[in-house]
Amino acid sequence: MKRTLSIIKPDGVAKDVIGEVIKRIESNQLKIIAMKMLQMTKTQAEGFYAVHKERPFFDSLTDFMASGPIVVMVIEGKNVIDKYRELMGATNFEEAAEGTIRKDFATDIEKNVVHGSDSPETAAFEIAYFFNTFEIASR
Ligand code: ADP
Ligand code: MG
């Protein structure tokens, strides 16, 4: 699998860093092959983050993810899953490396600007959660 799902979360959209995130993707040899803006319902957010349903932060996280518009993208490229997670930085912005998206723009462990799939299996599930095959370009 050389595709991953990226989300610019509600805080990232509110902070007007959509362009910044896209610039970092495009300037690192990764290609956007699908993209749209939408707002999830609470139920859709719960379905997306179902793997985390036992976590103490699940209710707050899914409220947050449904709180405003998000930008969802499919990104393609060599080693894209690891490469995009490297561009994002650690979950906790305080532990994120210099120059990463979360280090530069996040201010909260929950509201951390971006999401990226963490394995080929989750990428397949997450891409199909938002896009059908006709919405994904081949470039
Ligand atoms: P990542 O997004 O880096 O893959 P996880 O999959 O572990 O991180 O968690 C999913 C999302 O849940 C995180 O991006 C963050 O928004 C939120 N989250 C993770 N850990 C915490 C926490 N300890 N407290 C609050 N929110 C958290
Ligand atoms: Mg994760």
Cα(89)–Cα(92) distance, rounded to whole angstroms? Answer: 8
CB–CB of 31/78 below 8 Å? no
Backbone angles phi, psi at 117, to 5 degrees: -55, 150
Q: How many CB atoms within 10 Å of residue 134?
A: 7
In short, whether 20's Cβ falls inside 6 Å of ligand 1 is no
Best of 110, 113, 114, 115 for a ligand 1 pocket test (most atoms within 8 Å of beta carbon): 110
Best of 7, 51, 58, 61 for a ligand 1 pocket test (most atoms within 8 Å of beta carbon): 61
Residues near 90 by beta carbon (within 8 Å), at least 6 away in sequence: 96, 97, 100, 102
Residue whose tokens read 């397949």: 124
Over the chain (139 residues), the average pLDDT of each successive run of 10 is: 93 98 98 98 98 98 98 98 98 98 98 98 98 92
In short, whether 115's Cβ falls inside 6 Å of ligand 1 is yes
Chain-centroid distance of CA 137 in Å reads 19
